[in-house]
Structure 1
Amino acid sequence: MTQPQIANSPLNTKYGTFELYNFAWSDNEQDNVLALVSNFEGNTPLVRVQSACYTGEIFESTDCDCHWQLETGLHRIQKEGGIFIYMLCDGRGAGLLTKIRGMNITAMEGLDTAEAYERLGSPLDPREYERAAFVLKHFGVASCRLLTNNPRKIAGLKECDIDVIREEHMSDPTPQNESYLRSKAKKLGHMMKPFGTDG
């Protein structure tokens, strides 16, 4: 893997102050990975790897739980210490255009997210985690407690020689997002107790 350019700055948030790092593999925005670091002790910090969801995180769409995941992850990492890694790849890596097209199919035809992506000929989750692992290794992290429900995320970091202890990161389903969450559990294998896919 090529070496990225790195910039950093303090970032004041409503959760507290983080040290914000930008890892830039090119001038293309999607080739940047952000890391919000809160002081941590020990060799197994709390880590959240989150992919962009502009509709949920910026516009607070009620059709997903991405805003909840963002806020809860930042709150816990600020409180407990750790690293929040933010990947600029919306639509689970399929891109914003595919995501919005899929959302329209879901709204107009009642298909779930997985079915909509299949209709569009898009992989359900093409994300890769080498850059997230690079960020962790940059901070000397070889083992982490990962806030996730996604087994692909765990496997992706393990393939890059990061030891992972999974910590559940599950919101309470709502009438608006239950179908979306159920699709993630049943069709993408996410570990979610409300849908019987987690222990």
Structure 2
Amino acid sequence: MIPPKIANSPLNTKYGLFNLYVFSWSDNEQDNVLALESNFAGRTPLVRVQSACYTGEIFESTDFDCHWQLEMGLHRIQKEGGIFIYMLCDGRGAGLLTKIKGMNITATEGLDTAEAYKKLGSPIDPREYERAAFVLDHFGVSSCRLLTNNPRKVLGLKRCGIDVAREEHMSEPTALNESYLRSKAEKLGHMMKPFGTDG
């Protein structure tokens, strides 16, 4: 992997002060990875690796839980110390065009996200985690407590040599997002107690 360009700045947020870093692998914005670091000296850092979800995080769509995941992740990392890694790859890495097409299929044909992606000929979750692991290595992190329900993230970081202890990151399902969350649990294998996939 070629080394990225790196820049950093303090960032004041409603959760508190973070050190904001950008790791830029090219001029393409999707090749940037953001990291918000809260002092974790002497502790195993709490880490959240989150991919962009502009519909959920910016426009706060009620069909997703992404905004809750973003807010709760930042809140806990500021409180407990660690790193929030934000990957600019919407649609689980499939891109915005595929994501919006999939959303329309879900809305008009009643298919869930996994079925919609399959109909479009797109992998359900093509994300890779080498760049997230690079960010952790930059901060000297070889082991972490990972906030996730996604076993692919755990495995992805482990394959890069990171010792991972998974911590649950589960929102309360609502009437509007329950089918979306159920699809993640039953079709993508996410570990979610409300749907019986996390023992």
User: What's the TM-score, normalizing by structure 1?
Assistant: 0.99
Kept in 2: contact 1:85–1:132 (CA 8 A): yes
Aligned pair 1:53/2:53, yes or no? yes
**Superposed counterparts of 1:132-147, under 5 Å:** 132-147=132-147
User: Matched residues in 1 for 2:36 and 2:117: separation?
Assistant: 31
Question: Secondary structure, in 3 states, of the residue corresponding to 1:35?
Answer: strand
Q: Hey, what does 2:78 align to over in structure 1?
A: 78
- Partner amino acid, structure 1, of 2:112: D
Aligned-pair distance for 1:5? 0.2
Flag structure 1 segments of 5+ consecutive residues without an equivalent: none
- Partner amino acid, structure 2, of 1:2: I
Aligned-pair distance for 1:42? 2.6
Moved segments of 4+, more than 4 Å: none
Q: Hey, what does 2:92 align to over in structure 1?
A: 92
RMSD: 0.5
Per-residue CA deviation, residues 94-118 of structure 1 (Å, 9 max, x unaligned), is: 0000000000000001100000000
Aligned-pair distance for 1:43? 5.0
Kept in 2: contact 1:43–1:144 (CA 8 A): no
Residues 176-185 or 43-52, more deviating: 43-52
Q: Hey, what does 1:63 align to over in structure 2?
A: 63
Kept in 2: contact 1:43–1:142 (CA 8 A): no
Q: Hey, what does 1:22 align to over in structure 2?
A: 22
% identical equivalent positions: 86
Aligned-pair distance for 1:44? 1.8
User: Matched residues in 2 for 1:43 and 1:85: separation?
Assistant: 18
Question: Secondary structure, in 3 states, of the residue corresponding to 1:91?
Answer: coil
**Superposed counterparts of 1:172-183, under 5 Å:** 172-183=172-183
Aligned pair 1:169/2:196, yes or no? no
User: What's the TM-score, normalizing by structure 2?
Assistant: 0.99
User: Matched residues in 1 for 2:25 and 2:133: separation?
Assistant: 14
Question: Secondary structure, in 3 states, of the residue corresponding to 1:116?
Answer: helix
Q: Hey, what does 1:186 align to over in structure 2?
A: 186
User: Matched residues in 2 for 1:80 and 1:162: separation?
Assistant: 20
